[in-house]
Amino acid sequence: MCEANVYIDRNGQEKLFMEQANIIIFHKDGTLFIENIFGERKTIAARVKEMKLVEHKIILEESW
């Protein structure tokens, strides 16, 4: 399947935030709604830095 793991980049350290994310909705208020294939849902105030889909990897940077 083609979902991706979502990581948060904190000072160069990538911490896993959600596994196997499928849906990401980018709200105009700067928050991201993320849902994975197991139905887990999270919202986070962060921006996407980079996506490497073939590597199943999405890297976020938190916004304060």
Closest Cα partner for 40 from 14, 9, 11, 16? 16
Q: Is 56 in the site for a second copy (CB under 8 A)?
A: yes
Q: What is the number of other CB atoms lying within 10 angstroms of the CB of residue 42? A: 13
Q: Least distance to a second copy from the beta carbon of 26, Å?
A: 5
Binding mask 8-27 for a second copy (x = CB under 8 A): -------------xxxxxx-
We find the least distance from the C-beta atom of residue 15 to a second copy, in angstroms, to be: 19
The partner residues of 40 in beta bridges, in order of sequence, read: none
* 45 in contact with a second copy (CB under 8 A): no
